[in-house]
Amino acid sequence: MSSFFQIIENIVKAMIFPGLLYATAGGLLLAGLDRKIIARMQRRVGPPVLQPTYDFLKLCGKETIVPHVANKPVFLAAPFVGYVSLVVMMLLIPIGGYSAFSGKADLIVILYLLTIPAVAMIVGGSASGSPFAGIGISREMVTMMAYELPLIIVFLSVAKLVGGDSMNFSLQDITAWQEQNGPVIFSLSMIPAAIAMLLIIPAEVGMQPFDVAEAETEICEGPLVEYSGFPLGMFKLGTAVRIFVMTSLFTSLFLGGITSGIHIGWTVCGVYVGDLLVRGLIHFAICAVITLLCMTFIHAITARLKIEHLFKFYWTVVAGLSLISLILVWIGV
């Protein structure tokens, strides 16, 4: 009987919190907030916060056209794989100190799982056979090569800070460490790494000024140029969830342990639902602030970079910042 209950619990985790429903709703809201605030900064009224949701629902009703040069199964499967792998990522990241399955993957695994959605988009775009998509995937791949170097250095510095002389890549342990010693960002040596991570997030999500791969005005959304209807909606949904995943990752790496003191004793079947609710809400609020900081503001004031400038920027400035952190942590400042 207990195993049956466990299965139910796991399904609830996967489907509702922090899985499918929470990730999707949170991602769509973040994307909507982003659009609304940019509009306000540009003195427009802007779309309603729920506009990404409406867009998705509208796209579901549209016809799906598969170009005749496309490889149909791959073309249609790619958006699903990308979206689902992002939702599963959400399960592996601790949300407000609550770990659904987070003992099952460490930072390096997360680093590699993060590439799956990008690869899904690249393979899907490639399978469409469009020359615009060809240019788009080339740029997407170069972007990926650009941010992967600083990202691994950021992860290494966090791991070194938390692990000390023993190794520690586990996100759960990083959260536990922060509950004891306060958030990672409070140690001075980690501030450059945090800034670097904040600069990596927009490139990972594909936000201006790092949206060279999708560049609507230039190469017609690159990999997505041939997508229409429901698969396009899936990709848009995936981008929204990716915002949430990346900001959640930042939260659990640098701002963990903030909500650990909160206890509301409301239980359903032995699960602290009240705690989860409050922590989930606070977590979402923090993610919204980060989105605002690293995506909305930068988006509002910058224009798109060229791909070679993007690559240079990440391998010099951002990698430099994260390297400073790593060296500082290594020599024990």
Partner 1 sequence: MNYTHFPVISVMGLFLGAFLVEVFGSKNKYIRNTIVLLITTCAAGLMLYLVKPVFIDGQIISYWMGNWEPVEGYAIGIGYEIDALGMFFVILTVLTIWLAAVYSIKYMEKDSHLGHYYTLFLMLSGSVLGLVCTGDIFNMFVMIEIMTFAAVALTAFRNKKGAHLEAAFKYLVVGCVGSGFTLAGIVLLYMQCHTLNMAQLASILHGNLTPVSVLALALMFTGFGVKSFIVPFHAPAADAYMSAPTSISMVFSGIVNKAGVYGMIRLLFVVFRVMDISSVQIMVVLFGVVTMFIGVTMALAQHDFKRLLAFHSISQIGYVITAVGICSMKGVVSGLFHAANHTLFKGLLFLCAGAVLYSTGTADLDKLGGLSKKMPKTTICFLIGAFSISGLPPFNGFASKWMIYQSLYDKAVTTGNFFYIFALVCAVVVSVMTLASFIKVTQAVFFGQTPAALKETHEVPFLMRLPMWIMSLLCVGCGIFYRFTGNNLLLPAMKSTFNITSYIDKMMGEGTAAASGIENITIHAETGFEYWEPVIWLVLFVTVLLAVFIVTLIGRRDRGKVLSTKEEADGKYATFFSGEKSSHSHVAGSDLFWGFKRNWKGYFNVMQKFHSGNVNDYSLMAVCCCALVIVFTYIVLL
By the 10 Å C-beta count (0-12 exposed, 13-18 middle, 19+ buried), 174 is classed as: buried
CA separation for the pair 121, 127 (Å, rounded): 10
Stretch that binds partner 1, among 13-21, 259-267, 277-285, 295-303 (CB under 8 A): 13-21
Of 19, 26, 97, 280, the one binding partner 1 by CB under 8 A: 19
CA separation for the pair 315, 24 (Å, rounded): 32
CA separation for the pair 142, 136 (Å, rounded): 10
Q: Does 153 bind partner 1 (CB under 8 A)?
A: yes
Q: Does 87 bind partner 1 (CB under 8 A)?
A: yes
**In angstroms, what is the minimal distance from the CB of 45 to partner 1?**
31
**In angstroms, what is the minimal distance from the CB of 94 to partner 1?**
13
Of 8, 60, 262, 301, the one binding partner 1 by CB under 8 A: 60
Which two tokens mark 246? Answer: 């990346």
- Residue 170 backbone phi and psi in degrees, to 5: -75, 130
CA separation for the pair 121, 229 (Å, rounded): 16
Helix axes 191-205, 131-163, angle to 10 degrees: 160
User: Using an 8 Å Cβ cutoff, are 88 and 63 in contact?
Assistant: no
Q: Residue 62: helix, strand or coil by DSSP?
A: coil
Q: Which residues pair with 271 in a beta bridge?
A: 268
Which two tokens mark 23? Answer: 């990730």
Q: Does 28 bind partner 1 (CB under 8 A)?
A: no
Q: Does 300 bind partner 1 (CB under 8 A)?
A: no
**In angstroms, what is the minimal distance from the CB of 308 to partner 1?**
4
Q: Report the site for partner 1 in 164-183 (rule: CB under 8 A).
A: 165-167, 169-170
- Residue 44 backbone phi and psi in degrees, to 5: -105, 165
Q: Does 64 bind partner 1 (CB under 8 A)?
A: yes
Q: Which is nearer to partner 1, 118 or 287 (CB)?
A: 118
Which two tokens mark 324? Answer: 């400073």
Of 39, 152, 273, 282, the one binding partner 1 by CB under 8 A: 152
**In angstroms, what is the minimal distance from the CB of 177 to partner 1?**
15
Stretch that binds partner 1, among 125-133, 176-184, 193-201, 278-286 (CB under 8 A): 125-133
Of 144, 195, 205, 286, the one binding partner 1 by CB under 8 A: 144
Q: Which is nearer to partner 1, 49 or 113 (CB)?
A: 113
**In angstroms, what is the minimal distance from the CB of 320 to partner 1?**
13
CA separation for the pair 314, 322 (Å, rounded): 10
Q: Does 91 bind partner 1 (CB under 8 A)?
A: yes
Q: Does 127 bind partner 1 (CB under 8 A)?
A: yes
Stretch that binds partner 1, among 103-111, 175-183, 188-196, 258-266 (CB under 8 A): 103-111
Q: Report the site for partner 1 in 301-330 (rule: CB under 8 A).
A: 306-308, 310-312, 315, 326, 330
Residue 20's nearest CA partner among 76, 114, 80, 90 is 90
Query: Residue 250: CA atoms inside 13 Å, Cβ hemisphere, count?
Result: 26
Q: Report the site for partner 1 in 38-57 (rule: CB under 8 A).
A: none
Of 44, 48, 58, 69, the one binding partner 1 by CB under 8 A: 69
Of 50, 72, 264, 301, the one binding partner 1 by CB under 8 A: 72
Owner of token pair 């409050």: 278
Taking residues 212 to 241 in sequence order and writing x for each that binds partner 1 by CB under 8 A, - otherwise, the string is: x-------x----xx--xx-----------
Residue 16: count of CB within 10 angstroms of its CB: 11
Strand positions, DSSP E, 191-299: 267-268, 271-272
